[in-house]
């Protein structure tokens, strides 16, 4: 209450209290009490009320004085005069009397717009501005047009300080207060003229005469305010004691702990842990690092250039050798710190690898084999060669007695010659290429088979002794032919009668099915009754087995997976080897089933031969490999040899000697010693013996076929250069 | 059925951790991790299969053994590093609040770690420590020559200089220096301490500045470890030698640039101390006296007996020992008649070979000219028993002045200038002394004997200075190709002797030389060992015609025998067919390496020695992981 009253001097003017003040002012305190109807509750508490009243009294007096001053500014009511009352002797205000003329009487005034306090914009669109008390429309008073308005503004000097009053529907001049308010708003001043933002502070409790004297509470002063703390004392004493005993050093001498004290750290026993591996030491400097190196260490111009061009990390040496004539001329090494730093980076950032260095002589890796000299005999030199004119000699065959050789070339010539002298005895001419030719392995009869296009010719060489000739003729064209097979065969056997036969013409011809192409290979069974041929062209794989005694041919396989490359009869068992492009399959002919599939690991098999004992097989491939199979051991090669620089063309085991040979398109023939042991525990011994060179490579083809001479360590080789050579030991 | 194995629970995935995982596990910063790795000697490992070790990720990372990291987690230094982190925070706060007194007390109680336990851990025995001080010595010598700056404190430099001086003092005291090499990078020294060869590199005396691409923090961490290591090693070395460690430093001398002379070696006084060192010293001296007598006697006996057997195992002694004897005696006797002890007649001194070779310069007194580097040559001469003096411009502490009568050699490194105004006394003194270039001292040490001064005289073009470290078998020897004008001392002496005595034989020998060369060329086809033997023999037989002929015969025999291997070779070539693929590849690799090495030797002799442990040369990964 108090603060409100005293808050500002000009408040009263707004809240209308001013009206009451003239009446309150002269009254006594008790009167005031009686006047307020709600004060009955306050009466019960006499003490407080008294205080309040006293305060109020004082304040009201103050206010009355204040009002006197403030009244000067107010112009709403006529000015009051303060006079001393005659009756009470007190000061009182006296207002001028109201004159009862027309101006003062409201009834005489022109009726103002009495539509009530309603928002006038409701009638903006309407011709009237409301309703009077009788419910009639109050029409909007007529207003002049724009010209009138303009003229009014010209005529009336106060028109710019007047505003349109909607209630009155007329222009009303603004009062001085309103104008002042507008001005203050325009100038961003506080709109209320009476408000003082800088009024002095009022010290409510410490101001003059307002000091608080009485205590707020009656509690006595606590002891802790004036007795020293026992706990603090204990804490301090603890530190004091520690300092006295020397446990805490207030100012530790710094140098003593700073200096590293060294002692005999290695005097006690080392721990059981092994020491970590020491870091590798850097390389020791070579002659090149000398300040005065020998001349040969100094880099040439191009070496220097290359050194400068290479990246720092890639350089073999991290410096360029330089020569100084005297030690005093040697400058500081500008990479010294960098090198130290890189060494340290190596020490803590580089992973270390422990490498075991092989301290072996590389030559000890080469297998120790018996010397070839101890494994004689084997062919070492070319003893003679027979020339076929300008064509490749595809096939060659040596007679079972080892005396005669037939060789056939691509132009259809077959020549018969002696191994020892190389003299050609006879020459036959066939139509088309000679794909293969082979002597019959029988010793009681003598003939050989020549394969040309879709045809097999059985030829008896000339100059045979009479009994042998008769026996041969009897085999090839017997007097009474065996009965023809029940089913008609596509293979036709035609023979010339024994009487009319000669060595000029083949005594027996087998016509293979048409479009079967050139037979690539002829393989004899060791007894000489069966022979197998492979033709290149036909769909069925072109494998035919011909039986001479029955004059019958049959195709053993209805369907073969892959193109058949080679076939072979097992030397002792009724087994049949069939080499397709990648695999070698072994069939049992008696039981008619597949025994084994050998995986050579060769892309394309070119040649194959079986050991005379029948337990080992060698396979050559166009991808330069030669595989040795131990048939008892595994279907994987026991050994893979790769020594030819071109495709292997032909491989052959010697029938009696422990030798085998391989020929290749690089024009060389490799002779091996191949000893096979009967007991299963010992591995076969393979020793390379000799490389025979002498054939020319012609259009990428070298030595096309090789054959051993039975009973002699000799070799016959047919080359693409048209030569057939005999190699002797 | 066994339990299902989860991925990443066993094997490489468990055994290795990546660097970031390690840092996370140790809860320290990367810089602290680096510091720990350096101090503890933990380095990254290369797993067999990076993908398996990194749980299937092939991102490029470095791997550490998980056990190494687990071991680091218990490291007291790591605890101290954490304390230091807290300390740094407290100090920063105190400074920020302007609480100077509390900051000061914090600073006083700063946590400091000790590395003693790490030294003991990394080097369980003293020998382990000695084996590994190469890098430490290099760093100490480098920092001893660096200027101090904001990162490298003066006290650190001072400590490094002190350690360097202590090491040099020890080497000089024990005469442990074996090889010296003046390279363009600095001076390489090799000493033998406790049967371990210690090699260190000292930069030439120039001011080095730390380049900007070098991380000084890494170097300082290493230096921290090395200082501690060397402190303990020197303590052990000094106490074992019966010396007080640390040797007291005379500050006054140090300020006047006395170098190593500022320290004084003091023997331990009390009786219980390691006496044997001093005993050994006297014994040493005794041995020397005895040896000098021995030498004379043996020389006499040698001159009386046949020399043939000597020249085989002692190639550095002339076969014509009488003349050699005269020659050798004549050389040093000009200055000092009692110098036979210093003769390099080592063959007679098998009983005590060290005392002579390590006291190589003991009969001589050297004077250093002012343009030569005093620290280098003072160290060299003194560790080989010589006396040395230097002008005051090279620092104080010279034991004698320039006009001292005892000076036998002047180490001088400036061109020859003819002086006109020379007093009689000066000329006389100049003639009495030998003026040699600095390389002579080093070459003498590497040769293990005193060489002729003539080729090293002042103003002469020096013979090439060769590395003493290239004594690997089969290494390229530049002295071989030089033929008649060989610089190698024995040849020099040889030719000189022959020049004096019999010119006819010289001519004969000259005629024989090309033959010898041819012989060598013939022998060159053989393997390295045979080649070496042949060379040795040829060298030894350089004078003796009989032996030379014998070797020639041998060579002829060899040439004959080399015919048959040609056949063998083709045979072996065929046997190669039967090698398995693996063997063949290994064989080809080895042959390739052999061929490459041979090519290197034949081109310039630039060879590399292979160490068992190598740093993985993954430079990129190293770059990447620089912390």
- Chain B residues in contact with A346 by the CB 8 A cut-off are 615, 622
Residue B615 has pLDDT above 80, yes or no: no
Determine the distance in angstroms separating the CA of B126 from the nearest CA of chain A, rounded to an integer. 6
A294/B contact by beta carbon, under 8 A: yes
CA distance B140 to B135: 9
Q: Edge-to-edge, what's the strand order for the sheet holding A583-588? A: A566-569, A575-579, A583-588, A593-599
Q: What is the pLDDT of residue A491?
A: 84
User: Which A residues 632-661 touch B at CB under 8 Å?
Assistant: 639, 641-643
Residue B358 has pLDDT above 90, yes or no: no
- Chain A residues in contact with B411 by the CB 8 A cut-off are none
Determine the distance in angstroms separating the CA of A683 from the nearest CA of chain B, rounded to an integer. 14
Beta carbons of B615 and A280 less than 8 angstroms apart: yes
B126/A contact by beta carbon, under 8 A: yes
> Which 3 state secondary structure label does DSSP give A184?
helix
The pLDDT of B252-269, averaged and rounded, is: 84
Residue A73 has pLDDT above 90, yes or no: no
CA distances from A16 to A61, A192, B263 (A): 18, 16, 107
Q: What is the pLDDT of residue A483?
A: 76
Residue B174 has which token pair? Answer: 């024990």
Residue B516 has pLDDT above 50, yes or no: no
pLDDT-based confidence at residue A482 (cuts at 50, 70, 90): confident
- Among A15-24, A217-226, A353-362, B316-325, top mean pLDDT goes to A217-226
Residue B296 has pLDDT above 90, yes or no: no
Q: What is the pLDDT of residue B534?
A: 54
Contact A317/B606, CB-based, under 8 Å?
A: yes
Return the higher-pLDDT residue of A481 and A60. A481
Residue B98 has pLDDT above 90, yes or no: yes
Beta carbons of B180 and B442 less than 8 angstroms apart: yes
Average pLDDT over chain A, rounded to an integer:
82
Residue B154 has pLDDT above 90, yes or no: yes
Query: Cα A316 vs. chain centroid, distance in angstroms?
Result: 33
Q: What is the pLDDT of residue B319?
A: 35
pLDDT tens digits for range A635-670:
899 989 888 889 999 999 999 999 999 999 999 999
Share of chain A above pLDDT 90, in %: 29
Return the higher-pLDDT residue of A53 and A121. A121
Q: Which of A286, A317, A365 lies nearest to residue B470, judging by beta carbons?
A: A286
The pLDDT of B389-395, averaged and rounded, is: 90
- Chain A residues in contact with B38 by the CB 8 A cut-off are 344, 347-348
Q: What is the pLDDT of residue A62?
A: 46
Residue A377 has pLDDT above 60, yes or no: yes
Residue B269 has pLDDT above 60, yes or no: yes
Q: What is the pLDDT of residue B270?
A: 60
Contact B590/A358, CB-based, under 8 Å?
A: yes
Contact A279/B132, CB-based, under 8 Å?
A: yes
CA distance B546 to A115: 159
H or E segment and range at residue A439: strand A436-439
B134/A contact by beta carbon, under 8 A: yes
Residue A614 CA neighbour count, 13 Å, CB half? 11
> Which 3 state secondary structure label does DSSP give A131?
strand
Q: Which of A273, A277, A688 lies nearest to residue B613, judging by beta carbons?
A: A277
B468/A contact by beta carbon, under 8 A: no
Return the higher-pLDDT residue of B379 and B337. B379
Q: Which of A289, A333, A346 lies nearest to residue B203, judging by beta carbons?
A: A333
B197/A contact by beta carbon, under 8 A: no
Of B315, B347, B307, nearest to B532 by C-alpha is B315
Q: What is the pLDDT of residue B258?
A: 82
pLDDT tens digits for range A699-721:
889 999 999 999 889 999 999 98
Locate the DSSP E strands across A288-392: 352-354, 381-387
Return the higher-pLDDT residue of A108 and A187. A187
Q: What is the pLDDT of residue B505?
A: 41
Q: What is the pLDDT of residue A523?
A: 93
> A624-638, A656-670, A689-703, B280-294: which has the minimum mean pLDDT?
B280-294
> A70-84, A157-171, B172-186, B205-219: which has the minimum mean pLDDT?
A70-84
Q: What is the pLDDT of residue A313?
A: 82
Q: What is the pLDDT of residue B97?
A: 95
Q: What is the pLDDT of residue A540?
A: 57
pLDDT-based confidence at residue A389 (cuts at 50, 70, 90): confident
Share of chain B above pLDDT 70, in %: 66
Q: What is the pLDDT of residue A549?
A: 86
CATH topology of domain B356-456: Rossmann fold (3.40.50)
Locate the DSSP E strands across A244-380: 352-354
Residue B524 has pLDDT above 50, yes or no: no
Contact B44/A349, CB-based, under 8 Å?
A: yes
Helix then strand count (H, E) for chain B reads: 27, 10
Residue A171 has pLDDT above 60, yes or no: yes
A172, β-bridge pairs? A163
pLDDT-based confidence at residue B158 (cuts at 50, 70, 90): very high
Contact B38/A348, CB-based, under 8 Å?
A: yes
> A492-506, A657-671, B77-91: which has the minimum mean pLDDT?
A492-506
- Chain A residues in contact with B232 by the CB 8 A cut-off are 262-263, 265-266
- Chain A residues in contact with B214 by the CB 8 A cut-off are 337-338, 341
Return the higher-pLDDT residue of B359 and B491. B359
CA dihedral (A500, A501, A504, A509) in degrees, to 10, reads: 120
The residue of chain B with its CA nearest to that of A368 is: B575
B436, β-bridge pairs? B411, B457
Residue B84 has which token pair? Answer: 């230091």
Of A132, A127, A92, A82, nearest to A111 by C-alpha is A132
Contact A326/B594, CB-based, under 8 Å?
A: no
pLDDT-based confidence at residue A98 (cuts at 50, 70, 90): confident
Q: What is the pLDDT of residue A726?
A: 92
Query: Cα B132 vs. chain centroid, distance in angstroms?
Result: 13
Locate the DSSP E strands across A454-549: 455-459, 492-495, 508-511, 519-524, 530-535, 543-547
pLDDT-based confidence at residue B267 (cuts at 50, 70, 90): confident
Residue A38 has pLDDT above 70, yes or no: no
Determine the distance in angstroms separating the CA of B543 from the nearest CA of chain A, rounded to an integer. 26
ipTM of the complex: 0.73
Q: Can you give the pTM of this predicted structure?
A: 0.58
Of A355, A354, A347, A338, nearest to B44 by C-alpha is A347
CA distance B413 to B373: 10
Q: What is the pLDDT of residue B509?
A: 43
pLDDT tens digits for range B441-487:
999 999 988 999 999 999 889 999 999 998 766 667 777 654 434 44
Q: What is the pLDDT of residue A110?
A: 58
Q: What is the pLDDT of residue B560?
A: 52
Residue B175 has which token pair? Answer: 């005469």
The residue of chain B with its CA nearest to that of A686 is: B578
User: Which B residues 260-319 touch A at CB under 8 Å?
Assistant: none
Domains of chain B, by residue range, sit at: 12-108, 116-262, 356-456
Q: What is the pLDDT of residue A101?
A: 65
pLDDT-based confidence at residue A40 (cuts at 50, 70, 90): very low
Q: Tell me the three-class secondary structure of A618-655, residue by residue.
A: EEEECCCEEEEEECCCCCCCCEEEECCCCCEEEEEECC
H or E segment and range at residue A66: helix A46-71
Residue B311 CA neighbour count, 13 Å, CB half? 23
pLDDT-based confidence at residue A109 (cuts at 50, 70, 90): low
Contact A265/B619, CB-based, under 8 Å?
A: no
């Amino acid at each position: 209450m108090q603060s409100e009253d005293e808050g500002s001097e000009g408040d009263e003017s707004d809240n209308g209290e001013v009206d009451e003040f003239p009446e309150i002012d002269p009254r006594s305190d008790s009167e005031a009490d009686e006047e307020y109807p709600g004060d009955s509750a306050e009466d019960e508490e006499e003490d407080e009320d008294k205080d309040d009243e006293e305060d109020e009294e004082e304040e009201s007096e103050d206010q009355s004085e204040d009002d006197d001053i403030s009244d000067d500014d107010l112009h709403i009511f006529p000015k009051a005069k303060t006079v001393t009352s005659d009756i009470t002797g007190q000061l009182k205000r006296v207002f001028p009397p109201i004159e009862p003329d027309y101006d003062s009487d409201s009834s005489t005034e022109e009726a103002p717009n009495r539509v009530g306090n309603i928002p006038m914009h409701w009638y903006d669109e309407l011709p009237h501005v409301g309703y009077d008390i009788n419910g009639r429309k109050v029409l909007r008073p007529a207003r002049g047009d724009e010209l009138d308005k303009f003229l009014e503004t010209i005529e009336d000097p106060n028109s710019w300080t007047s505003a349109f009053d909607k209630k009155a529907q007329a222009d009303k001049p603004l009062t001085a207060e309103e104008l002042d308010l507008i001005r203050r708003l325009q100038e961003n001043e506080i709109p209320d003229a009476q408000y003082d933002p800088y009024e002095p502070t009022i010290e409510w409790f410490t101001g003059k005469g307002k000091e608080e004297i009485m205590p707020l509470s009656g509690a006595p002063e606590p002891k802790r305010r004036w007795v020293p703390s026992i706990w603090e004392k204990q804490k301090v004493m603890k530190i004091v004691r520690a300092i006295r005993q020397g446990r805490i050093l207030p100012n530790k001498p710094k140098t003593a702990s700073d200096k590293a004290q060294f002692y005999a750290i290695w005097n006690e026993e080392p721990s059981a842990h092994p020491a970590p591996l020491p870091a590798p030491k850097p390389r020791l400097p070579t002659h090149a690092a000398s300040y005065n190196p020998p001349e040969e260490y100094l880099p040439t111009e191009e070496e220097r250039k290359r050194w400068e061009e290479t990246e720092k990390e890639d350089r073999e040496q991290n410096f360029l050798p330089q020569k100084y004539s005297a030690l005093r001329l040697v400058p500081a090494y500008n990479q010294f710190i960098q090198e130290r730093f890189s060494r340290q980076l190596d020490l803590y950032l580089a992973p270390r690898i422990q490498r075991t260095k092989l301290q072996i002589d590389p030559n000890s890796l080469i297998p120790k084999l018996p010397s070839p000299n101890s494994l004689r005999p084997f062919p070492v030199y070319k003893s003679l060669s027979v020339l076929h004119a300008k064509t490749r000699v595809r096939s060659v065959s040596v007679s079972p007695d080892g005396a005669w050789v037939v060789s056939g070339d691509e132009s259809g010539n077959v020549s018969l010659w002696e191994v020892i002298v190389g003299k050609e005895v006879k020459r036959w001419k066939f139509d088309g290429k000679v794909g293969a030719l082979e002597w019959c392995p029988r010793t009681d009869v003598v003939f050989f088979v020549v394969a040309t296009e879709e045809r097999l010719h059985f030829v008896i060489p000339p100059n045979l002794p009479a009994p042998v000739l008769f026996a041969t003729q009897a085999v090839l064209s017997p007097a009474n032919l065996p009965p023809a097979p029940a089913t008609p065969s596509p293979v036709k056997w035609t023979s010339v009668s024994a009487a009319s036969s000669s060595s000029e013409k083949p005594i027996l011809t087998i016509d293979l099915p048409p479009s079967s192409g050139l037979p690539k290979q002829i393989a004899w069974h060791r007894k000489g009754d069966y022979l197998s041929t492979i033709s290149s062209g036909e769909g069925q794989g072109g494998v035919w087995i011909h039986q001479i005694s029955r004059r019958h041919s049959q195709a053993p396989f209805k369907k073969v997976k892959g193109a058949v490359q080679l076939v072979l009869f097992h030397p002792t068992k009724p087994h049949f080897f069939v080499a397709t492009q990648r695999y070698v399959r072994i069939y049992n002919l008696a039981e008619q089933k597949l025994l084994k599939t050998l995986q050579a690991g060769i892309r394309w098999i070119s040649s194959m031969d079986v050991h005379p004992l029948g337990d080992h097989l060698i396979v050559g491939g166009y991808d330069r490999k030669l595989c040795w199979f131990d048939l008892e051991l595994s279907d994987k090669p026991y050994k893979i040899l790769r020594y030819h620089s071109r495709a292997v063309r032909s491989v052959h085991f010697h029938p009696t000697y422990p030798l085998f040979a391989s020929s290749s398109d690089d024009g060389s023939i490799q002779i091996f010693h191949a000893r096979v042991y009967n007991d299963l525990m010992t591995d076969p011994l393979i020793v390379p013996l000799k490389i025979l060179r002498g054939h020319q490579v012609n259009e990428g083809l070298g030595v096309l076929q090789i054959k051993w001479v039975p009973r002699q360590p000799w070799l016959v080789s047919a080359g693409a250069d048209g030569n057939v050579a005999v190699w002797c030991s | 059925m066994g339990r299902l194995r989860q991925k990443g629970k066993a094997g490489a995935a468990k055994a290795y951790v990546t660097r970031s995982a390690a840092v996370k596990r140790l809860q320290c910063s990367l810089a602290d991790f680096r510091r720990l790795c350096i101090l503890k000697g933990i380095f990254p490992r290369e797993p067999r299969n990076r993908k398996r070790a990194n749980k299937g990720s092939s991102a490029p990372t470095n791997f550490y053994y998980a056990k190494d990291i687990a071991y680091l987690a218990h490291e007291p230094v790591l605890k101290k590093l954490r304390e230091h982190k807290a300390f740094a925070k407290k100090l920063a706060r105190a400074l920020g609040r302007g609480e100077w007194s509390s900051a000061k007390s914090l600073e006083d109680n700063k946590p400091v770690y000790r590395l003693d336990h790490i030294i003991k851990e990394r080097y369980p025995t003293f020998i382990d420590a000695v084996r590994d001080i190469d890098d430490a010595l290099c760093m100490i010598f480098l920092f001893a020559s660096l200027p101090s700056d904001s990162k490298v404190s003066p006290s650190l430099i001072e400590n490094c200089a002190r350690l360097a001086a202590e090491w040099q003092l020890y080497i000089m005291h024990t005469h442990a220096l074996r090889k010296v090499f003046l390279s363009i990078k600095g001076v390489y020294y090799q000493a033998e301490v406790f049967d371990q060869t210690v090699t260190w590199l000292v930069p030439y005396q120039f001011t080095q500045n730390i380049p900007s691409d070098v991380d000084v923090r890494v170097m300082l961490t290493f230096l921290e470890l090395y200082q501690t290591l060397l402190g303990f090693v020197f303590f052990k070395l000094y106490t074992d030698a019966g010396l007080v460690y640390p040797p007291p430093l005379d500050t006054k001398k140090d300020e006047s640039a006395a170098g190593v002379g500022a320290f004084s070696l003091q023997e331990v006084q009390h009786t219980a101390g390691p006496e044997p060192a001093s005993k050994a010293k006297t014994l040493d001296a005794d041995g020397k006296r005895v040896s000098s007598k021995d030498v004379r006697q043996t020389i006499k006996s040698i001159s009386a007996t046949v020399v043939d057997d000597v020249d085989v195992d002692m190639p550095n002694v002339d076969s014509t020992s009488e003349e050699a004897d005269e020659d050798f005696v004549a050389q040093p006797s000009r200055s000092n008649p009692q110098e036979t002890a210093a003769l390099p007649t080592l063959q007679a001194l098998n009983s005590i070979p060290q005392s002579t070779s390590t006291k190589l310069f003991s009969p001589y007194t050297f004077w250093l000219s002012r343009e030569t580097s005093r620290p280098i040559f003072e160290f060299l001469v003194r560790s080989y028993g010589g006396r040395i003096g230097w002008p005051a411009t090279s620092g104080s502490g010279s034991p004698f002045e320039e006009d001292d009568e005892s000076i036998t050699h002047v180490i001088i490194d400036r061109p020859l200038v003819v002086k006109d105004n020379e007093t009689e006394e000066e000329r006389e003194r100049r003639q009495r002394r030998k003026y040699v270039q600095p390389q002579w001292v080093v070459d003498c040490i590497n040769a293990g004997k005193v060489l002729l001064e003539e080729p090293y005289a002042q103003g002469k073009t020096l013979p090439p200075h060769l590395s003493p470290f290239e004594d690997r078998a089969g290494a390229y020897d530049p002295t071989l190709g030089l033929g008649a004008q060989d610089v190698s001392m024995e040849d020099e002496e040889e030719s000189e002797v022959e020049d004096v005595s019999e010119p006819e034989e010289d001519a004969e020998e000259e005629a024989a030389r090309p033959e010898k060369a041819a012989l060598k060329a013939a022998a060159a086809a053989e393997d390295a060992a045979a080649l070496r033997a042949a060379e040795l023999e040829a060298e030894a037989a350089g004078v003796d015609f009989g032996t030379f002929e014998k070797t020639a015969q041998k060579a002829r025999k060899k040439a004959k025998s080399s015919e048959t291997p040609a056949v063998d070779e083709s045979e072996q070539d065929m046997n190669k067919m039967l090698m398995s693929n693996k063997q063949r590849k290994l064989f080809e690799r080895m042959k390739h390496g052999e061929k490459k090495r041979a090519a290197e030797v034949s081109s310039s002799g630039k060879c590399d020695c292979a160490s068992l442990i190598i740093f993985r040369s993954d430079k990129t990964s190293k770059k990447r992981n620089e912390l």
